[in-house]
Chains A and B, each alone.
Chain A
Amino acid sequence: MNKSIFFFLLLAGFYGFGQNKNTGSVVLRFDNVAGNEDLVLKDKLYTNGAGESFNVSLFQYFVSNIKLQKADGKEYVLPQDESYFLVRESNPQSQVITIPNVPKGKYVGVSFVIGVDSLRNTKDISERKGTLDVGGEAKDMYWSWNSGYIHLKLEGTSPNIKVDSVRKSQRYAYHIGLFGGYNKPTLNNVRTAAIAFGGESVKVSKSDTPEIKIEADILRILNGPTTLSIVKNPSVMASPISQKVADNYVNLFQYKGVTRVAGTTAKSSSGDSGKTE
């Protein structure tokens, strides 16, 4: 048996014991929307701040390095190796993240990296498993020619894009990556979302599993400090404007309330493989 798996199981065993009294679970439920409407892939048109219509055919992002803030200022930090999740609009299961082994207490907020942090982006291939597997789950969230994960992807079409000899389709694609570079600095589009539970304090214990609803409003990617025109920027990838997109989407997420999950028993949603499904 692989040594690290064995070690993990051993650790998981210990966690299992710890689970009994002093810990509980927290569920983060991500709901992707467009303004006041629920996000519907392909069939619906939305309007951005530049007054352009567009639909969305693909929307997905990494959520990583999750930290839960307690009322007393302390933090629960998810173990690094279990803290990489890929939320896909096309996959409802991926939108629910269960965090096990959370010390009991009252929590007032959550923070996470939108994307993959710089350090993990520089790691050896042996530390890129589960959701980070470039030959598996992360296949479409990785640039192989300019090594690095794509933090967030938004794709679709806009009827406002004029098709001509240069622009052959109405497609637009926002692939936001870049983490600062390995041996020479470049843009760093790693952003952290900090979400307060609206002044509420959320109780976590063995019998209290709160489900926190977090809304991701795609309009906030295009509207924010910079009002982005899809027509003028139909393709944003490794280019300077990606920074403006990231500066917009740092405000992508909003707290939308808490519900209690009845009769839940905590179970790892990430595990060794880090799978979110």
Chain B
Amino acid sequence: MNLQKWGALLVLSVFICLSFRQVQEDLFVKPKHFPEPHYNFKENPLTEKGVQLGKALFFDAMLSKDNTISCGSCHQQSSGFTQHGHALSHGVDDLLTQRNSMPVQNMAWFPDFGWDGGVPHLDLFAISPIQKENEMGETLPNVLEKLRATEHYPKMFQEAFGDKSITTEHFLKAISQYMLTLVSANSAYDKYQNGNKAALNETELQGLAVFNQKCATCHSGELFSDFSHRNNGVKGEDGEDTGREAITLSDKDKYKFRVPSLRNVAVTFPYMHDGSIETLEEVLDHYTNLPVKSPYLDPVLKSGISLTDGEKKSVLAFLNALTDQDFLTNPRFAEPGADIVVASEFKGDWEKTDFGKLDIGVQKALLETLGKYISIKNALGEQDGKTSAVAAAEMQAAFKKVRKEALTPLQTSFFTKIGADLAFDIEHIQETNDYKHQLDHFKYVSVGLYKLVKAFKVKTEQPLLYVYCSEADRKKGGYWLNEQEKVLVNPYLGKKNKCSEVKERL
């Protein structure tokens, strides 16, 4: 080989090296104000193809026993990669998971994973949900076999790892690659930390000060967690889940769970390892009214946390400033093929907003959607899961008739905010015939639909009632929309149950 060729080769290889590095840096950027990541990227360098493959796997239901549940089923982007509104999630065969779905974000900084920290390496994590019988209920060897039998996956593995023979190592590393790109570091709080002092308002700043004084012992640092396991006074309904103790077998670890990161906390409700607390307000109330006599309670909480009402307000404002809209709507992270509308997020008070005149076609589609909703409600009142599933499929079809092009920008922003979750919950009702599972989703469909109908002033033929029953959903309470005043059908507790309180007439 002559000198010229050597030279060309050298230039080419330098170019290849540089472009490779370039790709990797784009895929994972350490935010300036974050500490060094825990994950060793040298073991698994991120590449565009690797991340793409990981994302395809993350959202592929083939990873579950009956091909119905993907990682993304319980880790939805718009809810900070948790499951929207679910205390516990439903795995295959409608089995309930043991614990609340955890956010998948900033994984590179975590030393171990899960509420009990039983898995010490991100690459080893995915095996656990895949193989748990109440989550995806599959075996890893079966998953690999299914992937090998497809046309596209061997190709994708070849492109990502230079080997089309789908191995355990490459499978797990690909999923890690995608998860590692999920970095959330652009909330109002982050902007403030990075020098934009106007990013937080006065209340939020007061909240930050109170937070640092009273919460940051455990929720410390830029990840808002010291990554320890502690008991915070939540023991679970039956106390059967002993948390970290199951891993260490040490009595001292009984009822201890991961101190969670608080990034995007406003959208990851409900809270705690068992999802037993629904709102952030109630979380703060929990800490001010701690069962201080519990022998398991963490020592730093022994004297409780005192917060005045004013302090609570400011802390709540601060916690809301940890929401990172860029992260929650970034199309790069989104489920392939998902209809992500990056519309400007509606931020105002919807009840005080005039959304203007509604397009006749949209009015018609929403009215039809509402009609199908009423069918679901009546079927649930009969505890007839089959009929409600059919009605949900019809509701889904009706809801899809809403032409987004016919909406004004203001209407679009609100419709996007409500619509995505609504569509998700409707879909889940039609996916099962178990009315109990359907009710978990019906609860959110009711609230979402109520907001849409009210905000857009959808005209109905007969008066529509917004009804509440405090005993619904294991006494957490639940709303529904009812079409007539004389016969109220309680979808949560059955036709004959009289638990109902008319909250509003539309």
Contact with A along B163-186 (1 / 0, CB 8 A): 100011101110000000000000
Q: Does B120 contact A (CB under 8 A)?
A: yes
Contact assessment for B168 and A133 in the assembled complex, using a CB-CB cutoff below 8 Å:
yes
Chain A window 143-170, contacts with chain B (Cβ cutoff 8 Å), 1 for yes, 0 for no: 0111100000000000000000000000
Instruction: Find out whether the CB atom of B171 lies under 8 angstroms from the CB atom of A135.
Output: yes
A129 touches B246 (CB 8 A): no
Contact B139 A139 (CB under 8 A): yes
Answer yes or no: B150 CB below 8 A from chain A CBs.
Answer: no
Q: How far is the CA of A139 from the CA of B140 in the complex (A)?
A: 7
A124 cross-chain contacts in B, Cβ below 8 A? 43, 121, 123
Q: Which residue of A lies closest to B253 (CB)?
A: A184
Contact assessment for B168 and A134 in the assembled complex, using a CB-CB cutoff below 8 Å: yes
Q: Which residues of A contact B114 (CB under 8 A)?
A: 145
B128 within 8 Å of A (CB atoms): yes
Contact status of A182 and B120, CB under 8 A, knowing A139-B141, A144-B127 = yes
Is A79 an interface position by the 8 A CB rule?
A: no
The number of inter-chain residue pairs (CB within 8 angstroms) is: 84
- Tell me, yes or no, whether B300 is within 8 Å of chain A by CB: no
Contact A147/B249 with A125-B172, A135-B171, A136-B168 known, Cβ cut-off 8 Å: no
A185 within 8 A of B: yes
CA distance A35 to B57 in the complex (A): 49
With A and B bound together, what is the CA distance between A146 and B245 in angstroms? 11
A36 at the interface (CB under 8 A from B): no
B249 engages A238 (CB within 8 Å): yes
**What bracket does the count of chain B residues touching chain A fall in?**
20 to 34
Q: Which residues of B contact A238 (CB under 8 A)?
A: 246-247, 249
Within A113-155, the residues touching B (CB, 8 Å) are 122, 124-126, 128-129, 133-136, 139, 142, 144-147
A181 in complex: contacting residue of B127, B139, B171, B248, CB < 8 Å: B248
Counting contact residues on chain A (CB < 8 A from B), the size range is 20 to 34
Q: Is B334 positioned at the interface, with any CB of A under 8 Å from its CB?
A: no
Q: Restricting to B238-253, which residues have a CB under 8 Å from any CB of A?
A: 246-250
Given contacts A136-B141, A139-B141, contact A125 B169 (CB under 8 A): yes
Cα of A134 to Cα of B127 in the assembled complex, Å: 9
Residues of B within 8 A of A122 (CB): 120
Secondary structure at chain A's binding surface: helix, strand, loop or mixed? loop
Q: Are B163 and A2 in contact (CB under 8 A)?
A: yes
Write the chain B residue with the least CB distance to A184: B248
Tell me how far the C-beta of B15 lies from the nearest C-beta in chain A, rounded to whole angstroms. 22
Alpha-carbon gap, A190 to B244, bound state (A):
21
Pair B123/A125 contact, Cβ less than 8 Å: yes
Task: Output the residue of A128, A133, A135, A184 with the most chain B CB within 10 A.
Answer: A135
Q: Are B118 and A147 in contact (CB under 8 A)?
A: yes
State the CA gap A136–B171 with chains docked (Å).
12
Q: Of A2, A133, A145, which is within 8 A of B128 by CB? A: A145
Give chain B interface residues in 128-178, CB to chain A under 8 Å: 128, 130-132, 139-141, 143-144, 163, 167-169, 171-173
Question: Is B9 located at the chain interface by the 8 A CB criterion?
Answer: no
B227 nearest in chain A by CB position: A183
Min C-beta distance of A88 to chain B, whole Å: 15
Question: Hey, which chain B residues are within 8 Å of A145, CB to CB?
Answer: 114, 118-119, 128, 132
CA distance A169 to B114 in the complex (A): 31
Which chain A residue shows the least CB distance to B40?
A: A124
Given A182-B112, A240-B249, A135-B141 contact (CB < 8 Å): yes
B124 sits at the interface (CB 8 A): yes
Partner of A147, one of B111, B119, B169: B119
Asked whether A183 and B124 contact (CB < 8 A) given A135-B144, A139-B140, A239-B249, the answer is no
4 new A-B pairs (CB below 8 Å) besides A144-B130, A186-B250? A124-B123, A125-B169, A135-B172, A136-B144
**Which B residues have a C-beta under 8 Å from some C-beta of A?**
43, 111-112, 114, 117-121, 123-124, 127-128, 130-132, 139-141, 143-144, 163, 167-169, 171-173, 246-250
24 contacts between A and B (CB under 8 A): A2-B163, A124-B43, A125-B124, A125-B168, A125-B173, A126-B43, A126-B169, A133-B168, A136-B144, A144-B132, A145-B114, A145-B128, A146-B118, A146-B119, A147-B118, A147-B124, A181-B247, A181-B248, A183-B112, A186-B247, A186-B248, A187-B249, A238-B249, A239-B249
